[in-house]
Amino acid sequence: MNNSRSISIVVLIAVVAISITWYIGNENIKLEQNTIVAENNSINLDLIINFGNGTVLYFNQTSVPDGFSMYNSTQYIIGEDNIDSTYYSEFNAYFVNSIFDTANDSNHAWSAWKYEECCKWQVLDVGSNLHILKNKQIIAWYYQDVNEFGQGNPN
């Protein structure tokens, strides 16, 4: 009886070990497939952050998930802790208060821009969270005098 009990325990351990091995192998296959999908479902863009004082940061050919907005992409590229914003539900839009600790004040504010194929910069006419990006698009955040809003070039 001891012998049959030992055999049962060994068989049970073998079944559990095989099941765990199969499960881990299956999860690795899923992870590899998800990585391939993620790589295939991304876009490249150029992000410019102009602080209005001569300091300009360029994030060229940066890969972000397809379907991301300008706001999501900025968070993704520079990190959520480096952008502060306020959400206004009545507009379904975020107002950016600061980027990299450069905060809006009574004379200066951040604005969101896009570069159009026709060789011209334009201020976004919607909230940055509503502007869904396209592959190879050029976008910019420009910290400028509020009296010059929409003027000049963010690069």
The model's pLDDT over 62-81, given as tens digits with 9 standing for 90+, comes to 999 999 999 999 999 999 99
Structure tokens at 91: 């507009």
Residues of the chain under the 50 pLDDT cut: 30, 33-34, 37
pLDDT at 37: 44
Residues 56 and 49: beta-carbon distance below 8 Å: yes
pLDDT at 35: 52
pLDDT at 3: 74
How far apart are the C-alpha atoms of 60 and 37, rounded to whole Å?
23
Q: How far is CA 79 from the centre of its chain?
A: 8
Residue owning tokens 């690069």: 155
Beta-strand relationship, 120-123 and 93-99: unpaired
How far apart are the C-alpha atoms of 153 and 41, rounded to whole Å?
31
Which pTM value belongs to this model? 0.74
CATH number of this structure's domain 42-148, picked from the four choices 2.40.100.10, 2.170.130.30, 3.40.50.300, 2.40.170.20: 2.170.130.30
Structure tokens at 117: 């194929």
Other Cβ atoms closer than 10 A to 135:
9
How far apart are the C-alpha atoms of 76 and 96, rounded to whole Å?
15
Residues 73 and 139: beta-carbon distance below 8 Å: yes
DSSP 82: G
Q: Tell whether the torsion through CA atoms of 104, 106, 108 and 110 is positive or negative.
A: positive
pLDDT at 23: 65
